[in-house]
Amino acid sequence: MDTSIATGLALGAAADLLLADPRRGHPVTGFGTVAAALERAVWRDSRAVGSGYAFGLVGTTAGLGVLVDRATRQRPVARSAATAAATWAVLGGTSLGRAAGRMRSALDAGDVAAGRAALPALAGRDPSTLGVDGLARATVESVAENTCDAAVAPLFWGAVAGLPGLLGYRAVNTLDAMVGHRSPRYERFGWAAARLDDVANWLPARLTAALTVASAPLSGGSAAGALRTWFRDGAAHPSPNSGRCEAATAGALGVRLGGRNVYGSRVEVRPTLGSGRPPEPRDIGAAVQLSRTVWLLGAAVLAVAARLMRARS
């Protein structure tokens, strides 16, 4: 039985847990540099051009994964090593927790300016008018959403499709962060990137919510609250995926998420998720602990799933 993909996923997850993101020469940074240069060359206010841009970059990146996978298919050790390296490169669970930890340290110290400076590493909203409560809410929401994007979703696609799945998913998610938001420049050009991200995260987001329910008691939270809030409030969020993760986290921690968010000149009023109190700085630590439990449990489940799927094939 070829267990190289499962072994690689497990080793890559362990590397992320122990080492966080690579500090130099991060492949995702390199991809972003290439994508930004290509955008400057081809940008048009056109869905067709934006679709070609997104599908071309994602297809090329996934194709690279196919080539490496084929080259190592008859060498299980090399295949495990390649999968582990790719998994480490595309995961961001530990770095997410560390970024949230820096926010909590700033807020615990009463340094709102430092908290505002730390927010861009977590969320794209304008921090200039946010106080302690707003920064705490933004951080908890970011941790909940990005537990899927940074960890569970790449592991899911790695289990389903191996190296091409790992690299292809990270390309999709990176492009969504770069051009998938609503703005005059990207409303049409970034449409395909945003829709690809919605599709790629549909199953992983619901898996993340289910893992949040299972992990809540292990992290001092409420499984019943997570399940109830996920089913009741998850669909109210404007994102077809983020709301499930945020609602489950809100219910697990007993807090209330949602409200007014400012993104540059754009203002959104998000629906309420959960029926508890507003988040406080201490809830950031609870959210990070829950997030870590969720994605590590997810890594174990998906590594086993990868092994079983390959055993059947």
pLDDT digits (tens, 9 = 90+) for 258-267: 998 888 778 8
Q: Provide the Cα torsion 139, 122, 263, 191; round to 10°.
A: -120
Contacts for 231 with CB less than 8 Å, ≥ 6 apart: none
Please give the full DSSP string across 5-70, using - where no structure is assigned: HHHHHHHHHHHHHHH-S-SSS-HHHHHHHHHHHHHHHH--S-HHHHHHHHHHHHHHHHHHHHHHHH
**Residues in CB range of 230: below 8 A, 6 or more apart:** 209, 212, 213, 244, 247, 248, 251
For residue 85, count other CB atoms closer than 10 A to its CB.
19
Residue 284 has pLDDT above 80, yes or no: yes
Which tens digit of pLDDT belongs to each residue from 76-122? 999 999 999 999 999 999 999 999 999 999 999 999 999 999 999 99
Predicted local confidence at residue 105, as pLDDT: 97
β partners of residue 268? 261
Which pLDDT band holds residue 2 (cuts at 50, 70, 90)? low
Two tokens at 219?
Answer: 């992290």
pLDDT of the residue at 182: 81
Q: Supply the range of the domain harboring residue 82.
A: 4-312
The rounded mean pLDDT for the chain is 95
Q: How many CB atoms lie within 10 A of CB 206?
A: 17
pLDDT band at 1 (very low <50, low <70, confident <90, very high): very low
Tens of pLDDT along 153-186?
Answer: 999 999 999 999 999 999 999 999 999 988 889 9
Tally of structural domains, the chain: 1
Single-letter amino acid, residue 122? L
- Helix (H) and strand (E) counts for the chain? 13, 2
In the Cβ-directed half-sphere of 239, how many Cα atoms lie within 13 Å? 26
- Decide: pTM greater than 0.75: yes
Place of tokens 């809100």: 250
Mean pLDDT of 6-17: 97
Give the pLDDT score at 311.
72
Tokens, residue 47: 């869905």
pLDDT digits (tens, 9 = 90+) for 19-71: 998 877 789 999 999 999 999 999 999 999 999 999 999 999 999 999 999 99
Name the residue with tokens 């959403």. 145
